[in-house]
Chains A and B, each alone.
Chain A
Amino acid sequence: MLARPQSIDFEALFGASPNPYVLFAPDLTIVTMNDAYLKATMRERDDLQGKPMFEAFPSDPESESHKALQNSLDRVLQSGEPDELALIRYDIAQPSGGYEERYWSATHTPLIDAGKVAYILQHTVDVTELHRLRTIAAEAGHSARDATGVFQRAHAVQEANQTLSQETQRLRTLFEQAPGFVAVLSGPEHRFQMANAAYRRLVGDREIVGKTVVEALPEVVEQGFVTLLEQVRSSGEAYIGRSVRILLECEQEGPIEERFLDFIYQPINAETDTEASGVFVQGHDVTEQRRAEERQQLLIHELNHRVKNTLSIVQALAMQSFNVRMEPEIARKTFDARLNALSAAHNLLTTQNWENAGLLETIKASIAATTGANVDRLRFQGPDTVVAPQTAVSLAMAIHELCTNAIKYGALSNGTGTVDVRWNVQPVEDGPTELEIEWTEAGGPPVQQPSRRGFGTRLIERGLSAELRSEVELEFRPTGLNCKILAKLPRIPE
């Protein structure tokens, strides 16, 4: 490459060129122009410099020429590639007033700085004379073998360009709206040529087009994605990733987030065993799907745990029911009744997703499951509250034991006795809720203190709440059994 001769003043060269040149900023403001341009447009420098191009040269935004010019400049801004307008009519205001019909051919060349279009250089050639000649020739009946050839070709090229440009625009729109993410990377640096809306969303709407992957998405480098891209580009072999974990900044300046992607790196223009010119990236964010699968696994795991736990409870009930002191038939009935009470408690918990259970419902359901038609002989009185699942199961089982005892020996063993069930809930600030239950039987046969403490009593003592111990007072009054339970219940998270 030749060294730039120090003696040449490029600014002077620009100014002195016989070709008209004008320089636009990316927002299409006129930055500067040379004398040839001023001459061609019949304007003064001060009129134009710093003004938006379409303000300096007004035209109907709906006109073909306005659109053609706008589109050409947009293409340059988007693609960073030069664009040509072979023929465009753009009338010029005359200093004397009115417009002069003028035809132009224009080349728009981007000046790139740091990967972005910094300026657009427009080179315009006034082809009005050629156009007039062609028209005159046509009117005079000459076959268009003259200069018009140039014109017809120019016209044809321009029309073809327009069709191509529309087609490109259509494809671009399709890409842009595709539900999956799409990006095109070019060269060994993996520079973003384009990225659609889904891709940009995935990376937190960062400015990525024109940048290399390393510049645009620095966090992915150490995760091996650039190495993978390079491998695809140099080998020409596609890579397909399934549910691949990636850590991405999904919001601008936001935290790094974990995502899972299905994607393909497809080499572009690869012939066998040759390097690709770039890589086409296409894929879907499958994070939600992945999370759903994980949740399902967790649920299955949790279900397994609950089943095992329930089996252990059933086993415990069996151990308490089938002991050597019991007759087998009675033991079997006791076990059946306990299973039934456990099942009733589970029904309640299931309706609440195993998060908690209503106290009132728990007490009522347990009594109903055990006493059946005798339920009318029990009176309930107490406020409702929510209790933890383990508390509900223990409480239901304890109530079941009290009912069973009443049916066998107490107030429900004859046709007339009654049971009064009252409870009270005392919320303690920042502490466990105090639950007091009083079970009073009346009208049954006289009761005696049993020789040993039964399963029910032990269960209540062990704790209606797994968190905190409870106290149980059993009083065998001549009028019937009186049982007081004082339990401390852990606070249920709202």
Chain B
Amino acid sequence: MTLDGATILILEDEPIIGLALEDMLSLQGASVLHASRIEEACELIAQEQVDSAVLDVNVHGTLSYSVAQLLAEREIPFIFATGYGDRSHPEQFADVPTVAKPYSADDVRKALLTRANCAGSGDSSIPG
């Protein structure tokens, strides 16, 4: 069960946290696309081959559900990362795995792989 070779989009507005997440994923063999704004994430999804995504829920005060919607439409698996422990997601994203900050590399990997399975890849690793 690895993320080896997968291209993962990170949406995170705090540069230092973004760097750490990038390192966590890179160490597991993934290549990372980093977005710090919602528009930037949407552009990357449109332009690049994205296999999976980790979305911070609150990006500069705006909720990132529009990005989640875009990913869902393209059937790209994704997870949420959030510092708001008790916030529940809108109904259509209620069962999206959510890692709470601060999260470990293992937390993120497990959540991503669960999602990849749910998306029906049938494979234990993210396609890519």
Contact = CB atoms under 8 A, between A and B. Distances in A.
A308 interface: yes
Contacts, number: 75
Contacts of B37: 466-467
Given A390-B13, A467-B36, A462 B19 contact: yes
A462 B16 CA distance: 8
Contacts of B86: 301
B15 interface: yes
A309 interface: yes
A290 interface: no
B20 A316 contact: yes
A459 B13 CA distance: 13
A397 B18 CA distance: 14
Interface size class of A (residues with CB under 8 A): 20 to 34
Interface string B21-45: 0011000000000101100000000
Interface in A284-326: 301, 304-309, 311-317, 319-320
Contacts of A319: 20, 23-24
Contacts of B17: 309, 312-313, 316
Nearest to B58: A305
A390 B15 CA distance: 8
Interface residues of B, number: 23
A99 interface: no
Contacts of A315: 20, 102
Contact of A312 (B58, B85, B101): B101
Contact of B19 (A308, A309, A455): A455
Contacts of B20: 312, 315-316, 319-320
B84 A390 contact: no
B21 to A, nearest CB: 8
Contacts of A466: 13-15, 36-37, 60
Given A309-B14, A466-B37, 9 more contacts: A308-B85, A309-B17, A312-B83, A313-B17, A316-B20, A320-B20, A397-B16, A455-B19, A462-B34
Nearest to B83: A308
A145 to B, nearest CB: 88
Contacts of B34: 462
Contact of A308 (B36, B60, B102): B102
Contacts of B16: 313, 316-317, 393-394, 397, 459
B101 to A, nearest CB: 4
Contacts of A314: 102
B14 A313 contact: yes
A316 B83 contact: no
Contacts of A312: 14, 17, 20, 83, 101-103
A278 interface: no
A463 interface: yes
A458 B19 CA distance: 8
Interface string A385-401: 00000100110010000
Interface in B76-117: 83-86, 100-103
A191 to B, nearest CB: 47
A386 to B, nearest CB: 16
Contacts of B102: 308, 311-312, 314-315
A305 B15 contact: no
Contacts of B19: 316, 320, 455, 458-459, 462
